[in-house]
Amino acid sequence: MAEFKDISPNAPAGAKLGNWLHNRFPTAFDAYRVHMSEYYAPKNFNFWYIFGSLALLVLVIQIVTGIFLVMHYKPDATQAFASVEYIMRDVPWGWLIRYMHSTGASAFFVVVYLHMFRGLLYGSYRKPRELVWIFGCAIFLCLMAEAFMGYLLPWGQMSYWGAQVIVNLFSAIPFIGPDLALLIRGDYVVSDATLNRFFSFHVIAVPLVLLGLVVAHLLALHDVGSNNPDGIEIKANKDAQGRPLDGIPFHPYYTVHDIFAVVMFLIVFTAVIFFAPEMGGYFLEYNNFIPADPLKTPNHIAPVWYFTPFYSMLRAITSEMMYALIACVVGAAVFGVWKTRMASVAKIAVVVAAVIACAMMLSIDAKFWGVVVMGGAVIILFFLPWLDKSPVKSIRYRPSWHKYLYGVFVVVFVVLAYLGVQPPSPIGERVSQVGTLFYFGFFLLMPWWTRLGEFKPVPERVTFAAH
């Protein structure tokens, strides 16, 4: 038991209360000290470093609004749609809570995508932050599961058929696919059993996992320290007291910095809620204002915008595309055998692997490979720390053409997102196929292209202009 600290009887009431709490709950004060007042963050954070805090803010918004929605929502196929309408029309301020939650889902993915792109720009996934990045990717995967399961709950026409299409994709997996799809649905079609399963996962199971991952992400980050736009480890230069020379306490400096960002974000967030909550059908699809009808399929089924890049990749994998992928596998194997310095055993292994891959791609339906590509587009992010072989972390000190390549990557991702919303077309299919090849080429060829070019010298200390 720690010794109690005495305080002067003449001390202010606030100081006395603080001392009383500190004597009885020192762990909380130690956590505040370690993670806030004595956590030294690089002093050269810029605009890109606000999105982590905004993601936490939106998480809180989603949890709070979700709690209020659950008070009135009925997880029953015969009552779900009506209960959402009841919330919107009859519950005091229910429309506001529902719009906050639906807009918050899209806002969550906006800030998370920007947060991940910042990590890509400044090499925040590189040593010693590999585990921080892996936890972050797991959070992203968890968010996708949470959003997908929540998407079904309004029991609208697009919710129902979107869930039907996505769950049916699992049935394309050889051997276990049909049983896996049945396990997910709880029935042979999307029904009341599916709604109850998705409700329990959306409200209880996935949020618990998500919160655990967020805590792990933050603890891992604070153990190794934050990255910065220069990609320099500030712990390498310390003063006599062991404090980083290029670091400042997170509180109060960055708490004030983030409060300003929070205010700006909330202004935009509330503007969307009050003036464009459906965002032209991208945040809330118009078909979702129609009750689910299992007997009437919508003319065009598409997921919410934040899933559409991956949905485009799924649709891009056709029988014709499979032959192009086989050609890529053969070309990569030939290049690996003839143009690299590998042992004979390794070359034989490459040839055998290529033959097996080609045989599998020819014998298994393209629908399955579409699911593999869609899932692989997310899973490949977990391996980014080991794919990037650049001698420097930050984009600031990489060759100029690297910046253009990152720019093209962003454009391709946005185009894939747009095409995923549109009805299928021959031109859209071709563009999606090219975009899919570029997306995977960007990551899979990283061990090669990230080493190329003339790199700028990295300074020993962070660059910072006082303002």
Binding site residue list for heme b: 101, 115, 202, 217
Three-state SS for 292?
coil
Binding-site members for a ubiquinone are: 222
Contacts of 434 (CB under 8 A, 6+ apart): none
Nearest to 399 by CA among 325, 355, 339, 454: 454
Alpha-carbon distance 382 to 53, whole Å?
22
Q: Give the C-alpha separation, 17 to 123, whole Å.
A: 44
Residues in the chain, overall count: 467
- Cα dist from 125 to 128, 191, 277, 445, whole Å: 8, 41, 35, 17
Angle, CA 294 vertex, CA 290 and CA 298 arms, to 5°: 55
Give the span between the Cα atoms of 71 and 68, in whole angstroms: 5
Non-local CB neighbours of 121 within 8 Å, separated by 6+ positions: 48, 394, 395, 406
264 CB neighbour count, 10 Å cutoff: 12
CA dist., res. 146 & res. 108, Å (int) = 11
Beta partners for residue 238, in sequence order: 244
User: Which tokens belong to 317?
Assistant: 């994998």
How many other C-beta atoms lie within 10 A of the C-beta of residue 176? 11
Residues 6+ apart with CB under 8 A from 420: 302, 303, 305, 307, 308, 309, 310, 311, 312, 315
113 CB-contact burial (10 Å; exposed 0-12 / middle 13-18 / buried 19+): middle
- How does DSSP assign 159-203, residue by residue? HHHHHHHHHHHGGGSTTTHHHHHHHHHSSSSS-HHHHHHHHHIII
What residue ranges in 43-80 does DSSP mark as E strands? none
Exposed, middle or buried by CB within 10 Å (0-12, 13-18, 19+), for 107?
buried
Q: Which of 450, 336, 329 is nearest to 387 (CA)?
A: 450
Q: Which residues are annotated as a binding site?
A: 101, 115, 202, 217, 222
CA atoms within 13 A on the CB side of 301: 15
Sequence letter at residue 250: F
